[in-house]
Amino acid sequence: MKHYFLLFAALCFTAGTAVAQSSCSQYYPLVEGTSLQYTNYDKKGKEDGQMEYKVTNVAESGDSVSATMVLEFSDNKGNTYTSDYGISCDGNVVRIDFKSLMNEQMMSQFGEMEMDITGTDVELPNNLSVGQELPDSNVNLKMKMAGAVNMNMNVETINRKVEKKESLTTPAGTFDCYVIYSETRTKMMMGNQTQPSRIWLAEGVGMVKQESYNKSGKLMGSTLLTQLSR
């Protein structure tokens, strides 16, 4: 589940229209009905689940496009989870709803507690280049627990940087990718935790691969694009 959460924090799945891709989003296939299937692997390289993203509710307004990404996740134990989040592009920037950092199964752990969620959306410009630094993003969650005790949780995506370009082959094809490094920093009452990750991002496709690491840099899990349907 930790790897699944980090994958949300990587935030590299999108959708839209063919017109939008040329004028609004360079790296994401913003076409309604697009489906991307990913396979998750544990730290030993053993398959431990699959995810499928589908593009829905695409809407255009001038040079702007908005859409909904619907996710279905299944693990090897037969558990299935669903979630969705909004995405939009305007000009040369794609923005992903900051609430996507708080996926539904994470939220379900807090039961019926009152919650207040604020944050900043994740941004990805169309003009990526090696060495480029990308804006941070964050989400803040305030929860009111029994006995009027409040608990705060903060999740930040920080130190985002385009490291390099390289070609990557998966069961879905061969792609020229930018490799983007970032760190997910989680702050809660019981302590803080920072975990690095990398994503491989291809033009017109979105995320092709993702790896998450522990604080020592050891691989903890990965995700690979295994099927692409438009």
DSSP string, 56-111: EEEEEETTEEEEEEEEEEEETTS-EEEEEEEEEEETTEEEE-GGGGS-HHHHHTTT
**Region 153-173 average pLDDT:** 94
End-to-end CA distance of the chain: 28
Give pLDDT, residue 77: 85
Instruction: Locate 181 and state its tokens.
Output: 């490094």
Question: Could you tell me if 56 and 16 are in contact, meaning their C-beta atoms sit under 8 angstroms apart?
Answer: no
Closest CA to 82 of 113, 112, 56, 51: 51
- Residue 6 CA to chain centroid, in angstroms? 8
**Region 181-192 average pLDDT:** 87
Q: pLDDT category, 147, cuts 50, 70, 90?
A: low
Question: Could you tell me if 196 and 210 are in contact, meaning their C-beta atoms sit under 8 angstroms apart?
Answer: no
Q: pLDDT category, 180, cuts 50, 70, 90?
A: very high
Listed in sequence order, the residues at least 6 apart from 154 whose beta carbon sits closer than 8 Å to its beta carbon are 138, 139, 140, 141, 185, 186, 187, 188
What is the helix (H) or strand (E) element at residue 138, kind and residue range?
A: strand 137-144
The one-letter code for the residue type at 7 is: L
**Region 164-189 average pLDDT:** 94
Give pLDDT, residue 97: 78
Domain covering 2-229 in this structure, CATH number? 2.40.360.20
Query: SS3 of 139, please?
Result: strand
- What does pTM read for this prediction? 0.81
Better-scored residue on pLDDT, 22 or 72: 72
**Region 185-200 average pLDDT:** 88
Q: What is the mean pLDDT of the chain?
A: 81
Q: pLDDT category, 10, cuts 50, 70, 90?
A: very low
Segment 114-141, tens digit of pLDDT: 778 888 888 888 889 999 999 998 888 8
Asked whether residue 210 carries a pLDDT value surpassing 90, the answer given is: yes
Asked whether residue 165 carries a pLDDT value surpassing 90, the answer given is: yes
**Region 162-178 average pLDDT:** 96
Q: Using CA atoms of 140, 141, 144, 149 in order, give the dihedral in degrees to the nearest 10.
A: -60
Asked whether residue 31 carries a pLDDT value surpassing 90, the answer given is: no
Q: pLDDT category, 19, cuts 50, 70, 90?
A: very low
Give pLDDT, residue 15: 31
